[in-house]
Structure 1
Amino acid sequence: MSRALVAVLLVLSGAGLGAMGTAVVGAGGIAELKRQAGLPAATPSASARSALSAPSAAVAPPAPVAARLGVEVADDGRPGALVVGVHVPGPGFSAGLVRGDVLLAFGETRVGSAADLARAVARARPGAEVTLTVRHRGGDHQRLTVVPGIVT
């Protein structure tokens, strides 16, 4: 009895016309409650009926897989790509990159600009280790190993 009372209240207030009313009363109960309350029963339009009866649409092809480092880089007027942001968690963070690092090489590819790094990462195979040559803010150079992640 209390379920029906809540459902009638929801329908009369207009809140039960969507998913909440269906969850409380059930799909078949909504039409009956509307009829009892004197509200017009909604009927699907012809286009909605044909969409409901049409076979399901073809499944879209899978999105291309791309490698990502999880860093944001910019040019700073010198060779390399300046790290201005590191996504946590992310492959760059896991490798030890921090803001202010400058990426000089991605594997065997020299990095002269942020665009060079983007092209090198795009050619990388997700999940395969790559050695980065990094110049830290203090001037020290270091080689780090990164595993570019998968983004679909």
Structure 2
Amino acid sequence: MISETGRIVAIETDGLWVETIQRSTCGSCAAEKGCGQSLMARLMGHTSYLWVLLEGRDPADYRIDQEIQIGVPESVVVNGSLFVYLTPLFGMLAGAGVAQQLWASDGLSAIGALVGLLAGGALVRWRAHQTRYDRRLQPVLLDDRQPVTLIPS
């Protein structure tokens, strides 16, 4: 489980909107001083807003600006990253390959690659839209009501 500290920015009956500042990896590698990501995080403080389900908890137990711990399973991050990066890449390669086989033209192969890349991106967007409410893919609150288990039983 990857955990992150966030600040509550809105409270609703079935969930919380949490603001996170992505800095969990910065400072942990040797290239921190020469890293563009570290510099951008310091300058811009890249924030993300996440929807966290309360899962039966009382919303009255939380308040705006309260800091909480949230977690996302590693498998969600790994599988999502692979899908988001590889689907458009494979679409681009397939589009270029099909165009090359059909027309044997470098210009049309480049257009086929672009069409494949856009189709792969559209597939990623469609899948994200289809799974946006999937409870297995949502961040969870890490507190005494839901202890983190690192080893599946």
TM-score for the superposition, normalised by structure 2: 0.24
Query: Normalized per residue, which structure has more helix?
Result: 2
Indicate the structure whose relative CO is greater, using CA pairs within 8 Å and at least 6 residues apart.
2
User: Which is greater in Rg?
Assistant: 1
